[in-house]
Amino acid sequence: MSAPLLSVRDLRVTYRSETGDVPAVRGVSFDVAHGETLGLAGESGCGKSTIAGALLRVLPRGTEVTGEVLLDGEDVLEMKPGRLRAVRWTEMSIVFQGALHALNPVQRVGDQIAEAIEAHRTAEDPAARVAELLETVGMPARRAGDYPHQLSGGQRQRVLIALALACNPRILIADEPTTALDVMVQAQVLELLERLQKELALSMIFITHDLSTLSYVCQRTAVMYAGRVIEEGLADEVFARPRHPYTAALAAAFPLIGDHTHRMKPSGLGGDPPDPRAIPSGCPFHPRCAVAVAECTSADIELWPAGEGRQAACIHVLDGTPR
């Protein structure tokens, strides 16, 4: 296997706040190969969106970020501001969640895309490039003259994707790109992202709490809990045969229709995701875990190999008992 396009090593992000430090990401490592889509799954507060911010270095000033984010071997965290500006958008760009707020309401959408192109001088004729981009995301070029409020939710999300593609990035970070959308529109956007990924040979990091979506769009999935990756592997495998009890609970939240083990038997986790200020000792998941044993409260838990291309941070992986 060739060197990965993006390699994240022991990334740690700590927010500073009035009431103390908040460790949002606590040592995360992963690779994204050329043309690969990696899914980052987890719930609110698990640190997945913080990772997106750290990769592009758009976190609030004063936030402590350590570790390495190697883009083609070059550390993004060490880049000078000029180099960083060049890399943002031309190498790595992001599609934000909440298509409504990410666009300037008083600027035509075409101008917003053109602005990104002009800032990076990546095309001779910005207007032509805007038209081309809109066609690429499945919108008529004439919509460039529209204001965001004239577009539907799905169209705005398409504009945001076009905006992210404006400077031919190699990596696209999609942060909950379909969360606020309707089922059918969600399917349209997923189809679009899948097509773009193939046509443009994009690498993608797809962030969501919906494991079933990941099994559909990603090759590999990393599941996060309390600022760490707790399971990693092929997306289908992780969703279908989770090794970590948390992944299992997350997967069960999106039951397979027709699967009678879930019919009239909803299952979820007791308790709530932990407060990043007070992460439980040992395995951070142990207070909510149905299969926790005594050691879980104190043992050092790390990602252990759990089969072909699989890792899981659960003590039960070691003794071989299926969860």
Partner 1 sequence: MSEVLLETRGLHVRFSVRHGDIARAVDGVDLVVNQGEVLALVGESGCGKTTLARTIMGLERPAEGEIRFEGEPLQYDSRFLRSYRGKVQMVFQDPMGSLNPRQTVYEAVAEGLRIQKPPGDEATRVADALARAGLRPPERFLQLYPYELSGGQRQRVVIAGAMVLNPSLLVADEPVSSLDASVRGEILKLMLELVRDAGVTILVVTHDLGLAWNIADRIAVMYLGRIVEEGPAEELLSHPRHPYTRALLSVVPEAEEMEQQILQGEAPDPTRIPTGCRFHPRCPLVASGEASRLGIEERCRTDDLVLHEVAPEHRAACHAL
Chain residues binding partner 1 by CB under 8 A are 43-44, 152-154, 182-188, 191, 209-213, 215-216, 246, 249-250, 252-258, 262-270, 272-273, 288
Comparing CB distances to partner 1, the nearer of 129 and 288 is: 288
Q: Which two tokens stand for residue 78?
A: 């060490």
Strand order in the sheet with 304-305: 92-95, 171-175, 203-208, 37-41, 220-225, 228-234, 311-312, 304-305
How deeply is 9 buried, as exposed, middle or buried, from its count of CB atoms within 10 A (0-12, 13-18, 19+)?
Answer: middle
Label residue 215 exposed, middle or buried (CB < 10 Å: 0-12, 13-18, 19+): buried
CB-nearer residue toward partner 1: 33 or 253: 253
* Nearer Cβ to partner 1 (23/255): 255
Query: Between residues 93 and 178, which has the closer beta carbon with respect to partner 1?
Result: 178
Asked if 203 and 5 count as a contact pair (C-beta separation under 8 A), the reply is: yes
Minimum distance between the CB of residue 29 and partner 1, rounded to whole angstroms?
A: 24
CA nearest neighbour of 72 among 189, 263, 203, 207:
203
Beta carbon of residue 45, minimum distance to partner 1 (angstroms, whole number): 8
Q: How far is the CB of 319 from partner 1 (least distance, A)?
A: 25
Residue number, 71 or 211, with CB nearest to partner 1:
211
Shortest distance, CB of residue 2 to partner 1, whole angstroms?
Answer: 30
Min CB(158)–partner 1 separation in Å: 11
Dihedral sign, Cα of residue 166, residue 170, residue 171, residue 176: positive
Q: Which residues contact 182 (CB under 8 A, 6 or more apart)?
A: 153, 154
Q: Least distance from C-beta 196 to partner 1, angstroms?
A: 15
